[in-house]
Amino acid sequence: MKKQFCLATLAVALSVNAQTLSSPDGQLSVTVGCDNGIANYMVVLGNDTVVRKSPLGIKTNMGDFSKGMKLTGSTQPQSVSESYTLPNAKKQNISYTANEATWMFNNEKDKPAFSVTFHVDNNNVAFKYDVKAQGDRRSCIVTEESTFYTFAQDTKTFLCPQMTPQTGFARTAPSYETFYEYDAEMGKDGWGRGYTFPALFKVTSNTLSNKKGQGESYIWVMLSETNIGGNYCASRIVSADTQSYRIAYPEQSEFGGVGSTAPGLMLAGANGEIPHAETPWRTITVGRTLAPIAETTIQWDLVKPQYEASKEYKYGRSAWSWIIRMDASCNYDEQKEYVDFAAAMGWEYLLVDAFWDSNIGYDRIEQLSKYAQSKGVGLFLWYNSNGYWNDAPQGPRGKMHRMIDRRKEMAWMQKAGIKGIKVDFVGSDKQQTMQMYEDILADANDYGIMVIYHGCTLQRGWERMYPNFVSCEAVRASENLSFGQHDNDIEALAATIHPVLRNAVGNMDFGGSALNKHYSKDNKRGKTRVTSDVYALATAILFQTPVQNFALAPNNLDDAPAWAIDFMKAVPVTWKDMKFIDGYPGQYVALERMTGSKHYVAAVNAADNAYVKEINVPANVKEVTLYSDDANLNGSVKQVKVKKGKVKVTVPKNGGAVIVY
State in angstroms the smallest separation of the CB of 426 from Ca ion.
10
Nearer to Ca ion, 163 or 603 (CB): 163
- DSSP designation for 55: E
Nearer to Ca ion, 298 or 474 (CB): 474
The Cα diameter of the chain in Å comes to 76
State in angstroms the smallest separation of the CB of 82 from Ca ion.
34
Nearer to Ca ion, 394 or 628 (CB): 394
**Cα–Cα distance, 346 to 334 (Å, whole number):** 18
Residue 18 parent element (H or E): strand 18-22
State in angstroms the smallest separation of the CB of 168 from Ca ion.
9
Q: Which among 239, 237, 233 has a CA at the least distance from the CA of 254?
A: 233
Nearer to Ca ion, 298 or 551 (CB): 551
State in angstroms the smallest separation of the CB of 392 from Ca ion.
11
What amino acid occupies position 240?
A: A
State in angstroms the smallest separation of the CB of 58 from Ca ion.
33
Nearer to Ca ion, 455 or 586 (CB): 455
Nearer to Ca ion, 174 or 583 (CB): 174
Asked if 641 and 622 touch (Cβ cutoff 8 Å), the reply is yes
Q: Which among 476, 478, 483 has a CA at the least distance from the CA of 513?
A: 478
Bridge partners for 86 per DSSP: none
State in angstroms the smallest separation of the CB of 467 from Ca ion.
24
State in angstroms the smallest separation of the CB of 175 from Ca ion.
6
CA distances from 568 to 47, 155, 491, 557 (A): 47, 40, 20, 11
Degrees (nearest 5) of the Cα angle 103, 104, 110? 155
Nearer to Ca ion, 474 or 581 (CB): 474
**Cα–Cα distance, 175 to 201 (Å, whole number):** 22
Please report, as ranges, the residues that interact with Ca ion according to CB under 5 A: 455, 473
Nearer to Ca ion, 31 or 329 (CB): 329
Residue 568 parent element (H or E): helix 562-570
Cβ burial, residue 555 (10 Å; 0-12/13-18/19+): middle
Bridge partners for 78 per DSSP: 7, 100
Closest residue to Ca ion, judged by C-beta, is 455
Residue 114 parent element (H or E): strand 112-120
State in angstroms the smallest separation of the CB of 328 from Ca ion.
19
Asked if 413 and 450 touch (Cβ cutoff 8 Å), the reply is no
State in angstroms the smallest separation of the CB of 505 from Ca ion.
18
- Mark residue 86 as left, alpha or beta (left: phi above 0; alpha: psi -120 to 50; beta: remaining): beta
Nearer to Ca ion, 251 or 473 (CB): 473
- Mark residue 230 as left, alpha or beta (left: phi above 0; alpha: psi -120 to 50; beta: remaining): alpha
